[in-house]
Amino acid sequence: MQEFMNYLAGQIEACRAKIERLEADGRKDDANFARVRTNIYDVCRTVTNTLANRPGAGEAAVKAQFARFETTWGAALEKAKAHGDAGAIAVEETKLAALADVAAHFPEEQA
């Protein structure tokens, strides 16, 4: 689990550096999307910190919370698509991409 937490910290740091780079390059809106991505890594870190060590919760609870995020943000994406809301589509896709990245790095359960 420590390795996963280090990975999240690394992603947050990388995103922050990217935000600085994009802002310096005059790409304010792209920087805002990078900020959304940072927030997702941060939210996932908080969820993991809170649930992973809680008695009766653990890794399964973390995974279940990630799945709930996916459902909620997936529904928001579909809604945005149905209304042709380009801004919301970009935000929800950014959130889902970051979440997919997090889920792919989450440690597999030990047999």
Partner 1 sequence: MTEENALKLFKCLSDASRLRIVQSLMQGEMYTELLAERLELTPSTVSFHMKKLEEAGLVSSRKEQYYTVYSLNRAMLEKPLSEFAVPVPKQMDEQEKREEEYRQKVIKTFFEYGRLRSLPVQHKKRRICYEEIAKHFEPGRVYDEKELNEIIIPIHEDYCTVRRDMIGEGILRREGSQYIRVK
User: Is the CB of 54 or the CB of 79 nearer to partner 1?
Assistant: 79
Q: Which two tokens stand for residue 98?
A: 């970051």
Among 9, 29, 50, 67, binds partner 1 (CB under 8 A): 29
Which sign, positive or negative, has the C-alpha torsion 43, 46, 52, 56? negative
Q: What span, in angstroms and rounded, lies between the C-alpha atoms of 61 and 16?
A: 28
Residue 27 Cβ, how far from partner 1 at the closest point, in Å? 5
- Report the interface residues with partner 1, using CB under 8 A: 25-30, 33, 79, 82-83, 85-87, 89-90, 93-94, 97
